[in-house]
Structure 1
Amino acid sequence: MTTDLTLKTDRLTLRTFERSDLDDVLSYYSLPEVQRYLDWKARDKSEATTAFEAMRRQKRLTRPGEILTLGMVRKLDGAVMGHVSLRWTDATAGQGEIRFAVAPVYRRHGYCREAVSAVMDLAFNEYRLHRIFAVTAGDNEASARLLRALGMRLEAHYREHALFQGEWDEELHFAILSREWKRSEKIHELARHKVA
């Protein structure tokens, strides 16, 4: 895959981050309601900038452990609304993990679903992955709803498995196989055109 990967959907351009995207990314990345669900914590602008620079370098998948991160850019006005990441976790078993974040102001319009669906198409059709999984916090109902809507099944619910800021944390693990995704491609195509 090229280092300048760009995907286009009806309403979005999904592309690697550019230096000029920094302020847009910081505007959502450091919000408490986004930060609580991210692996890479950012307590201040410096840490958020470090996270952004790491995402800017995530431009290709050539071996396990690498991550491809694409910014969600609205075609209408060029607004950077969030990002989707695909991490190649295992070459032998063809496994990948999908992660995403979207600015609260752009939620409930189907943008995230459109973006994640396009990246899953890429994962299964171009990278030939066999299985994609996603992990979300037990209280992140919006992400769980999105993953179910994309046809992913809940495979595990880890209850009180870790302490986080003095409270028990729960995780939901979702997954879908390539053949399951391909069987429902028509549903996904319809979903990409629907505004939730």
Structure 2
Amino acid sequence: MLQPTYPVKTARLILRPFTRDDLSALHSLQSRPDVARYLGRAPRGRADTARVLAEKIENRALTIPGDALSIAVELIDTAELIGDLTLALTSVENNSGEIKVVFHPKHHGKGYAAEATAELLRLGFEEFGLHRIVGHCDGKNVASASLMEGLGMRREAHLRESELVDGVWKDELVYAMLAVEWQRR
């Protein structure tokens, strides 16, 4: 079973498990159309956010493929929830995982996503011993693509019109990093 020792602290952030007290903050993120458009879904209502939060609270360890570790990101100075990280175990045999990163737009451009995602990659490679970690993003999500590239992840694919969302074909970008690349960065 793979599970971090919480809280995980960076220079400005605390990474911790989600709690029921996170509902309002998570809803303020998940209900935004400007966030949902890059996640391939509609903005969530409060009841849907509560259901998702219950799942996130349960996602505390990686044991079998398909398990996901859900991590809340809060500012050290204010204890405000500003982001939502996921590290999923995609294969035990291939020792691989996948990351997902969502931050509230009012906190974009401050380096928080890079700081938190670097720590997520460190957990995956150094603490959990993963060999390979991938990340996906909407082809129009320049911020997510820049984040992954800035962390040293390599673009492996540009899947043209790979997903139909609300009647519109979307491109998908696929990034990856190997443990040896993480060590060299």
TM-score interval w.r.t. the shorter chain? over 0.9
Q: Which residue of 1 aligns with 2:162?
A: 161
Q: Which residue of 2 aligns with 1:97?
A: 98
Deviation for aligned residue 1:51 = 1.2
Verify the 8 A CA contact 1:30 1:43 in the aligned structure 2. yes
Quick one: structure 1 residues 123 and 41, their matched pair in 2 at CA, closer, same or farther if it must change by over 3 Å? Answer: farther
Separation (CA, whole Å) in 1 of partners of 2:41 and 2:182: 29
Q: Which residue of 2 aligns with 1:143?
A: 144
- Partner secondary structure for residue 175 of structure 2: strand
Q: Which residue of 2 aligns with 1:15?
A: 16
Separation (CA, whole Å) in 1 of partners of 2:75 and 2:178: 29
Q: Which residue of 1 aligns with 2:132?
A: 131
Moved more, 175-184 or 21-30: 21-30
Quick one: structure 1 residues 63 and 39, their matched pair in 2 at CA, closer, same or farther if it must change by over 3 Å? Answer: farther
Quick one: structure 1 residues 111 and 103, their matched pair in 2 at CA, closer, same or farther if it must change by over 3 Å? Answer: same
Quick one: structure 1 residues 47 and 62, their matched pair in 2 at CA, closer, same or farther if it must change by over 3 Å? Answer: same
Deviation for aligned residue 1:35 = 1.3
Verify the 8 A CA contact 2:23 2:49 in the aligned structure 1. no
- TM-score of the two chains, using structure 2 as the length reference: 0.94
Separation (CA, whole Å) in 2 of partners of 1:2 and 1:152: 23
- Partner secondary structure for residue 108 of structure 1: coil
Q: Which residue of 1 aligns with 2:89?
A: 88
- Partner secondary structure for residue 59 of structure 2: coil
Paired AA for residue 14 in structure 1 = L
**Equivalenced residues, count:** 184
Verify the 8 A CA contact 1:67 1:87 in the aligned structure 2. yes
Separation (CA, whole Å) in 1 of partners of 2:17 and 2:62: 13
Q: Give identity over the alignment, percent.
A: 36
Deviation for aligned residue 1:162 = 2.6
